[in-house]
Chains A and B, each alone.
Chain A
Amino acid sequence: MHQASSYEQIERRARTRERVRKTVTYVLLVLWALIVLFPFYWMILSSVKSYSAYNSEYIPKLYTLAPTIQNYIDAFTTVSLGRYFLNTLIFTVITTGLMMIVIVPAAFAFSRLDFPGKNLVFTLFLSLMMIPNELVIITNFVTITDWGMRNSYIGLILPSVTSVFYIYLLKENFEQIPDALYKAAKVDGTSDLKYLLKVMLPMTRPTIITIMILKVIECWNSYVWPRLITDDERYFLVSNGIQEIRENGFGRENIPAMMAAVVVISVPLIVLFLIFHKKIMAGVSRGGTKG
């Protein structure tokens, strides 16, 4: 009998400990979720507060009863947010498109074609991955300046159209397509280019989409290169635009309008993320890097 009660005790203690652990876990997770989400809440909240309401709140309120869209109108009329937006869109679409045109044939050549010195070339190629952007950006800045391409789309786009890493990722994927398919296509008289377009690309579509999404995110958020290469407001991307708005735009104190601009800039990627969150997260865990 004594034994039985001590067993009961052990069990009760284990159950209490389990419950405490669960509670602590959830508290921690919710807390971090709040820290992650709060800035988003705050920017949306501030963006719908009117200018006067915001500035009269010495103690900031966590809600507003009189939301306004005036700030969004200001964001598009007072500063050239629409222009920045359009620039970024153009930059993102062209860069991503060009990049695909450059990297797909390269990945194809490395994975499928045989040529003397392929291994050596590929090794050299991989070693390029270790070169930090910060080293080469200095010369690129000088090059683009010398070519007179400052403040132009082409100057913005050119240095970003290759990525060693994405070629590598794509090549690895291409290599998973069985050899037999290539041989079968050759027997049928399919040209390399047709095989690439009709067989390989459709078969590796998930990877292609992942790469494109990652590149779009990268383009949308790029700041350093556009900052170096543009000082004409007409060619600013959103990142530079938001810095410009902050420093010279609405006047330092019109924070609600600034927040409206921030919301507008953030929305496209967040929407993209909400639609593709599984793909994006899988893609990033396979090879994205940041931070």
Chain B
Amino acid sequence: MGLLDASGISRARRKLTLMARTHSPIDKVLLLLQVCKRVYQSLDTQPEQEVTSEHFLPALAYVLVCCNMPLLLLEVQYMMELLEPSWLTGEGGYYLTSAYASLCLIQSRPQAPPTGGMTSEAQEKLREWSRRRGQENITHAPSNQNQRLVRVLYQEGGQSVVRTLQWVDGEPASSLALSCATAFAVGQPHCYGLFCRAAGGEMKPLPPHALIHEAHAHSIGSLPSLSYLRVDHDTGKVRRLTRGGAVDLGGSVCEE
């Protein structure tokens, strides 16, 4: 079984650096998945040998050590906090968990008995996290049905802000756009519009007459999310990180 070579490591490092620069937890987790795929590919050298999590976990830990990014744990925690529960139980969640487990492994003492491997501090944090996110899910879940809320991301230059806004049944996108203009204190509202992320991952403008609840179908997770962007923004740029529903993890596109 192989491990990533020097060029593979620097590639992984570039992806993780890019991950640190993006804001969206979804984009971050997709980049993490690309790194994990590379690790798998490097392991899969002998046709007759099955690559399992047995091999993957230490290999990932090795790559993370080589990448030497002290703030990686923070990144992982960022995703654990902000990803929708549906993402946390999916493939992204699995590999996020593996990254977290690898970081625990790295932090554990080499000769620690089997009970080690996870510092008590990490255990406590995990507990707390589980409790908090679990609670949040219970308290938020009912509101999805009764309250009309939408999460709107506003990006301008290097700055991005997320606001949760309320809307009423039958309200068209144009009137929500007006609320956005106020919420984000935009000077020229006519230059901005609402966008939603389609199933394929790319950003699509929401027609002014479109109804908000129809845009739900395109949302990810429990709370619908839209973006409030300049109409002339570079959609290509937003697309780059999340292409295709199944996500092509080959990802040379993500190199910058």
Q: Do A and B share a complex? A: no
